A and B are shown apart, each in its own frame.
Chain A
Amino acid sequence: MARTVIPFGPQHPVLPEPIHLDLVVEDERVIEARPSIGFIHRGLEKLVEKKDFVEFTYLAERICGICSFIHGQTYCQGVEGIMKIAVPPRALYLRTIWGELSRLHSHLLWLGLMADAVGFENLFMHSWRVREKVLNIIEATTGGRVIFGSCKVGGVRRDIGPEAAEGMLADLEIIERDIRDITGIFLNDRSVKDRLCGVGVLSRKDAYDLGCVGPTLRASGVAQDMRQLGYAAFKDLPVQPVTRTEGDSFARCAVRCEELFQSIDLIRQALAKIPAGDIAVKVTGNPNGEHVERTEQPRGEVFYQIKANGTKHLQRFRVRTPTFANLPALVKVLQGCELADVPVLVLTIDPCISCTER
């Protein structure tokens, strides 16, 4: 059988993000996949040499339009680590709440995209309808829907008052009920299972060795979640990683479904335990030193390396995003798959290419 190379992306109706794949196929079977990126490389890491380290929080948030808050939070944690800043406990809880709201809307966005990829348009619309309610909470508490702008070095810019907290708890009741409805369909509907079960199986060993992170790793049975490190308020709110053992696309979907309930539970716990007090401390001086920070974004672990030399401009700002870590696994699962499964398998790692390219 003659081999054909099919260029796939960066602009393609089924691709949510501009990644390019050279698919080497024999008949309808993919023999090899070669990804390439860089179409939206913005050089954000380089901009750190020109922007003030305080001002750069806004740029760090703009690395991604979905996990924007956690990017800003991780950056602030890195600078605070160098400057040995003790962030007020209330600010740590607020960061945790907004971080988990980010996870909720990111996973709901992914569920919608997956429903669209398998041709279940109603489920896609319902997933995004529920996501809209999460965005409304974010808008009510931060003023933004995608870029929150509420994290800063030394704490946070906004507080959540008792009335807003009560409103959030009431909204979460409705959101949880809605999520229970839609995840019930994802996990039980035959047409969804037909497209996801047994597709793109990644063994536990492969997922670990290939450096996978997030739901892609946990769906293969590895119980690793950076929230276990205890950053922000997670030292008071222990997280038990959600895992599955099948390692296929359905398992990755199931992990994300269950993490939705976990995030709602964490927000409730955080609202119940949030201490009173200041939400920020004054920051003086410039950072001098180096710090590595790891946090759990919706797509998995993000790695930040920040290096400062005592001036207001940082020397180096290095970001390794979760999608970048999951690219080798994508290459692996695409080998031997059916051509028709490529969109599902690309989606299954929840790719964020603008995040990846920075």
Chain B
Amino acid sequence: MSIEQPFETIPVEALRARAQALRDEGWRLVQIGATRLPDQLELTYSFDRENRLANLRLALPGDEPKVPSISSIFWCAFVYENELHDLFNLHVSDLAVDYRGHFYQTAVKFPFGSTKPPAAKPATPQPAAAKA
């Protein structure tokens, strides 16, 4: 069994209009997710209607990506958008509920937000050689 996998690529400027159109057609929000690619941040907005799935795909430039919130259209989007901010350092404007970076209480800020390789671990201190 395989479910349909439709992905519609749209520019960021068309996001709110497309989300509103889906809402008017009776779709509801399933999730918003991101994938960090080498030079961009790829966003996927998934919607459901009667067990069918529709996905909107956005490609944002890697440095300081920005996107408008759809939480005025789908109120529940605020949890996903706050998550994307806290994990990926995605700037979302006009959030219905803005946690200002305090939704995820992670020890590391923006754990999925870096495009650089992680810093090397400090060398483990070796025990001093026993004196004869």
**Chain B residue at smallest Cβ distance from A324:** B79
Nearest-Cβ distance from residue A8 to partner chain B, whole angstroms:
15
Contact A320 B30 (CB under 8 A): yes
- The residue that A43 contacts in the complex, of B29, B31, B34, B111, with Cβ under 8 A, is B111
Determine whether A305 belongs to the interface, using a CB cutoff of 8 Å to chain B.
Answer: yes
Q: Which A324-358 residues have C-beta < 8 A from chain B?
A: 324-325, 327-328, 357
**Chain A residue at smallest Cβ distance from B32:** A320
**Chain B residue at smallest Cβ distance from A317:** B35
Known: A38-B86, A46-B112, A292-B53. A320 touches B33 (CB 8 A): yes
Nearest-Cβ distance from residue A126 to partner chain B, whole angstroms:
36
Number of contacting residues on A, CB 8 A? 42
- The residue that A291 contacts in the complex, of B5, B37, B75, B111, with Cβ under 8 A, is B5
Contact B79 A305 (CB under 8 A): no
Contact with A along B94-132 (1 / 0, CB 8 A): 000101001111100001100000000000000000000
Determine whether A252 belongs to the interface, using a CB cutoff of 8 Å to chain B.
Answer: no
Nearest-Cβ distance from residue A192 to partner chain B, whole angstroms:
30
Contact B1 A39 (CB under 8 A): no
Interchain CA distance A208-B30 in the complex, whole Å: 11
Contact A211 B29 (CB under 8 A): yes
**Chain B residue at smallest Cβ distance from A213:** B30
A residues less than 8 Å from B3 (CB atoms): 229, 292-294
Contact with B along A204-243 (1 / 0, CB 8 A): 0000111100000000000010101111101100000000
- The residue that A292 contacts in the complex, of B5, B76, B97, with Cβ under 8 A, is B5
A residues less than 8 Å from B44 (CB atoms): 305, 318
Interchain CA distance A231-B3 in the complex, whole Å: 9
Q: Which B15-54 residues have C-beta < 8 A from chain A?
A: 28-31, 33-37, 44, 46, 51, 53
Contact A303 B105 (CB under 8 A): no
- The residue that B28 contacts in the complex, of A208, A292, A320, with Cβ under 8 A, is A208
Contact with B along A90-108 (1 / 0, CB 8 A): 0000000000000000000
Contact A37 B105 (CB under 8 A): yes
Known: A211-B30, A292-B53, A293-B3. A38 touches B76 (CB 8 A): no
Contact A38 B103 (CB under 8 A): yes
Contact A209 B33 (CB under 8 A): no
Known: A39-B105, A211-B30. A235 touches B53 (CB 8 A): no
Contact with B along A252-289 (1 / 0, CB 8 A): 00000000000000000000000000000000000000
Contact A210 B106 (CB under 8 A): no
Contact B5 A229 (CB under 8 A): no
Interchain CA distance A228-B55 in the complex, whole Å: 20
Contact with B along A112-135 (1 / 0, CB 8 A): 000000000000000000000000
19 A–B pairs (Cβ distance < 8 Å), ordered by A: A36-B105, A37-B105, A41-B104, A43-B112, A46-B111, A210-B75, A211-B74, A211-B76, A228-B51, A230-B1, A291-B5, A292-B46, A292-B55, A303-B31, A305-B33, A318-B33, A318-B34, A325-B31, A327-B79
Known: A41-B104, A292-B3. 18 other contacts (CB 8 A): A34-B99, A38-B86, A38-B105, A43-B111, A208-B28, A211-B30, A229-B51, A231-B1, A232-B1, A234-B1, A290-B5, A292-B46, A301-B30, A303-B31, A318-B34, A320-B33, A324-B79, A325-B76
